[in-house]
Chain A
Amino acid sequence: MSDAEHPTDDGAPGDYPIDDSVSSDDEFEPIQVFPEAEEMDLRPGADNCYKCSTCDTNCPVAEVDDEFPGPKFQGPEQWRLKRQEDHDIDDSVMKCSNCMRCDSACPSEVPLSQMHNTARGEYVDEHMNKLSREYIRNRILANYRRLAPLAAAFPRTANFVMGLSVTQWIGEKTLGITSEREFPEFATETFREWWTKRGGNATSKQRAQDARAQRGDAKSQSEDKRIAYFHGCYSNYNTPEVAKALVRVYEHFGYEVMVPEQSCSGTPMFANGMLEDARRAAETNVRELAAAIEDGADIIASCSSCSMSIRQEYPELFDFEGTDDVAANTWDAVEYLRVHEDLEGELEGTSLEDESFAYHAPCHSRNQGLDGQTIEVLGAIDGIDAHDVGDSCSGISGTYGWKEENYETSMKIGEEMFEHMDDAPAETGLTECPTCSMQMEHGTGYEIKHTLEILAAALVGTDHDVDQRRGQETR
């Protein structure tokens, strides 16, 4: 290799020095070959790709659909093709489900999902007809957060209407939303309604104090034990029991819970190429969460895609003030307790009525290195037997599997997980991702729970127990 060529190194600490102080004795003077980037510069990422195709072997879509050219094409190859004026973004980018598996697969530090997100955004922006059925449908799916409050205001009516086969038929015929799936039910009381009724932060502050007093150990006395809960849309509108479980578990450990204003995490918007919608949502979230950090809180999420989005996608795609700080201080709910408390020690000796679970680690947990966590932690509870159903993708990938044209692919991807759930000696499913849980239920008919619900049951008992205990205390 001649000295004039740029080495194919890739961002290791202390990598290739651009300043000439180190290599002056080589008489090597780097020159600026490329003009300053006006937009996000993905060249170093593209140049890191040595085409080993490891990403392709991890792509759940390419495994079942050979018309999808795979992440290596969608990322570095397409990026290069696009340098020429005569190549537009290929429409196959819309077949990517945004599971982000390619990210943790790549042995060469190529930011694949960042490349996919920007390519998809550009495709939707420049090539998708804004009046097309597909665009309107995607916009609706991506902005579920905007419709949910309406349904949540009239949950019984909404559940009734959404459950009608005629609604599903219309959904498929007019919008291309598959009629194979049943819409998730809206809760009759959202988490935030419950939270307000319960007395909001003031109540939580008191309960945390009580818990600290009861726990007695010096470490628990700290007034700084404070978290801001990013509940996301689903545990607010659809599964408030998950959000309530989080509140109870954290208060049990003496944490005061704050519930800041928040918008959708942006995950469904990234996946649909609606980057402007995502930007607006992220701006609100970063502002509110940064303020919570300022107040001494760490950010905790119970949904694996929400935490993924805040931790990885925000810093990759946006640069609001505080974005990096918010990303660095956001945690998965169980992970945080493992690091800041002796969670497993606390769980030792707890017991629940015998129950077995078929556990699926969501792709977005996997990408955060959290795939082994649930099995490890639940192992400490007597009576609980959780079986990992393997590393395959559930196939739904958020809004992806809701689209009529993706339904079949989505179910083919899910086949392996369904088989393994069937093989596992359990009749109840367990996961941390709302849409994975929809897919698990859809494919097996099992009831699906969230890990926090099990932890809450083991540590503080059921809702009923808690209310009764407090009733006695106040009497």
Chain B
Amino acid sequence: MAIEDDVLVLGGGLAGTTAALAAADQDVQVRLVTHKQSTLRHASGLIDVLGYTPAGDGPLVDPFDALSDLPDGHPYERVGVEAVREALSFFDDVAGEAYAGAHTGANALVPTHGGTVKPTARYPASTAAGLASDDRDTLLVGFETLPDFEAPLAAAHLEAAGVPFTARGVTLSFPGIVRDDAKVTRYAHLLDQNESVSTGAGETGAREALAAAVEAHVEDESRVGFPAILGDEHAAEVRADLADALGVDVFEVPMGPPSLPGLRLEDLLYDALEDAGVRVTSGVPVVEYETGTDGDRIDHVVVDRTGSKLPHRADQYVLATGGLVGKGVRSERERVYEPLFDCHVPHAADRYDWFVDDVFGDQPYARFGLRVDRELRPLTADDEPEFSNLRAAGAVLSGYDFAAEKSGGGVSLATGYVAGTRAGEEGGE
């Protein structure tokens, strides 16, 4: 017999977890199936709504001003502005004190590890003291063994971008790390557990040793930024200890992949799933599906568990398997396709029309994905819903270029929230 639930969400990233949480809010039994780890680990942990318009105007001060002008087919246009607001407030409730930015509808400007400034709607509490709109002078601290963050360069870049403060960068060696290729999780663990490390001054806790190494370099700055490796499970405690020892505010600068703020967001969301009673099946792919007798509804999907085929049945399904990077949309020489249900993915017949030569130009492939109706049901080439009980959310959708618009997190939240809520409502009937 099949393993049965009311709502089955396929995909475990921001859209999938949001959909599962929203569905569970409707008092139905929800299961989330996710194959490999989601792209949250690649993500900065920032929740963008819209930083730039599709035409490239920005950075936008208020993303909501621009939302109503988006072209037909854009995921925000599909769900409507009000749903975006509701989804953000839903996220605020889930994230609690771990995230900031809910006090205003305007975008915050968060410095990145390259020294650029990114407009974003919500940001981890760990980055809050670093905002570029804050005029306090800033010291950035980088480490010899973490070449992804070149602090003096990032500081210079920030100043060149016209931030209203003086930024300075120093590069130190990280107490307790000897290898050049230590993983970011190693740094975080060292600080989380406050492991004992050897320094010139003898054996001390890792947090104390780090503070001691930085102390001599702080001049007039009242805030110090570190690459985002300041702890994982006990990150708030690590930051507080460093701030106490240094007598300044401490913040993190979001990094590229693999990203601790993305990992922490993932942990936060999965804890919320557990609290909400959502069942999670991870590490296994969905490989096929069966429709009911009329062919209009998905009856069940089949999960492959290292060779065994396990049927999973639900009343409603949400597809949140990601885009080209997350592999919810795939391509080969002749076609672009959605691998689970083979939903229609509009694209040019000639693959040389899938891209333009200007790398940062308006890339057609960036918008590849599923077209959906206002209920977020994927549409066939003839504009009919592919299945009456399938909705799609997140990067698997077409019609937006999240990298250019800075809209990835917001679209995942808004469409995940709407798809999950609708699936929960119908699945409970």
Contacts and interface: CB of A to CB of B under 8 A. Distances in A.
B258 A52 contact: yes
A69 interface: yes
B72 interface: no
Given A14-B332, A66-B182, A367-B283, A335 B339 contact: no
Given A327-B306, A339-B310, A340-B1, A368 B37 contact: no
B293 interface: no
A257 B53 CA distance: 65
User: Chain B at the A interface: mostly helix, strand, loop or mixed?
Assistant: loop
Interface in A44-63: 52-54, 56-59, 62-63
A416 interface: yes
Contacts of B305: 335, 368-370
A106 B326 CA distance: 11
Given A22-B334, A63-B186, A66-B186, A104 B327 contact: no
B281 A54 contact: no
B36 A105 contact: yes
Interface stretch (B173-181, B199-207, B244-252): B173-181
Interface stretch (A5-13, A137-145, A283-291): A5-13
A214 B37 CA distance: 46
B185 A62 contact: yes
Given A9-B332, A107-B327, A328-B308, A56 B185 contact: yes
Interface in B145-196: 177-179, 181-186, 188-189, 193
Contact of A52 (B41, B181, B331): B41
Interface residues of B, number: 48
B279 A372 contact: yes
Contact of A16 (B1, B307, B332, B339): B332
Given A327-B306, A367-B283, A368-B305, A66 B177 contact: yes
B257 interface: yes
Given A7-B333, A327-B307, A369-B281, A66 B37 contact: no
A339 B183 contact: no
Interface string B273-289: 01000011111100000
B39 A328 contact: no
A17 B335 CA distance: 12
Contact of A312 (B37, B177, B306): B306
Contacts of A129: none
Contact of A372 (B42, B179, B280, B308): B280
Find the residue from B184, B274, B282, B306 having the highest chain A CB count within 10 A. B306
A327 B307 CA distance: 7
A335 B258 CA distance: 33
B375 interface: no
B89 to A, nearest CB: 28
B263 interface: yes
A128 to B, nearest CB: 23
B22 interface: no
Contact of B281 (A58, A308, A342, A372): A372
A418 to B, nearest CB: 12
Interface in A28-80: 52-54, 56-59, 62-67, 69-70, 73
A342 B4 CA distance: 11
Contact of A12 (B39, B178, B307, B330): B330
Contacts of A58: 37
A148 B2 CA distance: 40
B3 interface: yes
B257 A311 contact: no
Given A64-B186, A107-B36, A57 B258 contact: yes
Given A22-B334, A53-B258, A105-B36, A62 B183 contact: yes
Interface in B325-349: 325-327, 330-334, 339
8 contacts: A7-B332, A12-B339, A17-B333, A23-B334, A106-B36, A328-B307, A368-B305, A369-B282
Interface of B: 1-3, 36-39, 41-42, 177-179, 181-186, 188-189, 193, 233, 257-258, 263, 274, 279-284, 303, 305-308, 310-311, 325-327, 330-334, 339
